[in-house]
Each structure stands twice: as structure tokens, then as C-alpha cells.
Amino acid sequence: MGKRRIYRQRGRAKNPKPVQAKPEPHKVVYRLDTPERRVSYFWFEVAKFCACGNPASLLEEVRDALAAMKIQPIDPDAHELLMLYWLDNVKLTEHGGGIYGSWLSPAGEDLLRDLQAINFDEDRDIPNSDYQPGETS
């Protein structure tokens, strides 16, 4: 009988802590109604870049790389290889046995379409401060 009593005592918590529900993660709805806003969303939220320096010139490079990959696989130098790895990392491309034979993912097709719709010669403020996380669509 003594063992049974010890078992029951160990099974009970002396000071039970109240169970607290985990807070719901903050859900943000993005207004992605223009190519500029979708590109800005990609820049800040997917790629996790800031707007310092000259991001428009890098976005032009991304556009050109995606456009070239849409036509045929590229034979990259070191900088282009870094671009291939980065594009794969942010899910804009997919590849089978090797990074050299990458192709555009559906997200890459969408971003390419948006980048081609932007005139970077006129609008150098991409990604721009018009991008407002939390706006409802």
C-alpha cells in the first residue's frame, strides 16, 4: 500500500501552473496590387534585404538572370554561380541534379513578369517606401 500512495503523490502537481494558450502569431496582410509592390515585398520579406545602396541595379541583374534562364541554362562564372545559388535559396528557381541546369519556379516566373513590367530607367526608387506591410488588399 505504501508504494501505491507514493505513486499517487508523485503523479500530482503540488502547485499546478495554469495552462496558457500560446499567443496567435501576428498575421500581416500585404497589399500586392502592383508589380512595384510585389517586387518590394519580395525584396524586403523574401530576400530580407534593406533599401540601402542601389537595389534597383541589383533587381535589374535578377531580372536579366531570370530572363536568361527562361531561355536556356547558363554557364556561370563565379558571380553568376552565386546568383544561381541565391535564386535557388529564395525559391525563384528549381534544379534537378545540379545547379547549372536550373529552371524558373512558378514564383520566379511571377517575379520575372513583375520585374519586366517596371521601367527601372524612370523609377529608380524600387524597392520603394510606398510598400507598406499591413495594408489590406
Q: What is the pLDDT along the chain (137 residues), one digit of tens a residue?
A: 555 555 455 555 566 666 676 766 665 566 788 888 888 888 888 888 887 888 888 888 889 889 988 887 777 788 888 888 999 999 999 988 888 888 999 999 999 999 998 887 776 667 765 555 554 44
- Can you state the angle between helices 55-71 and 78-89, rounded to 10 degrees? 90
The answer to whether the predicted template modeling score (pTM) of the entire model surpasses 0.85 is no
Burial 80-107 (b: 16+ CB within 10 A, else e): eeebbeebbebebbeeeeeeeebebbee
